[in-house]
Amino acid sequence: MQRSPLQPKDPINLNRARERLANRSAQAGMHRLGKALCDPARLEIIQALSASSLTVNDLALAIRRAPAATSQHLRVLRELDLVEGARHGTSIYYSLKRGMAAEIERILERLASLPPASGA
């Protein structure tokens, strides 16, 4: 018995979904967000920097990690264009890029308010 090909129930919404999937910039943004938030240390760094600018050493103390490891995570976040550094004397203070703190906080709060996924 041969199956008939699938027919859309809602072609308009199907086309909207296909257009969204074709939007490469949205996919790139989701990939960047996933890379930033998939590691617990990077998530802690983002949360700490949403409160205040910090040096690598102070940030390492805040998240209870080694300064070298913290620096590597900051490198990833800088490459993702989420974090920036500003030199003050002999120290570099890291902060979230302008506008990123509020946006990331909004996303994290929204995700935290959702009910757990079934099977989780």
Domain-wise residue ranges, the chain: 28-105
What's the length of the chain? 120
Q: Which residue has the higher pLDDT, 49 or 4?
A: 49
CATH 1.10.10.10 is held by the domain 28-105: yes
Residue with tokens 């996303």: 107
pTM over 0.85: no
Find the radius of gyration of the CA atoms of the chain. 20
Predicted confidence (pLDDT) at residue 119 exceeds the cutoff of 70: no
Backbone angles phi, psi at 50, to 5 degrees: -70, -20
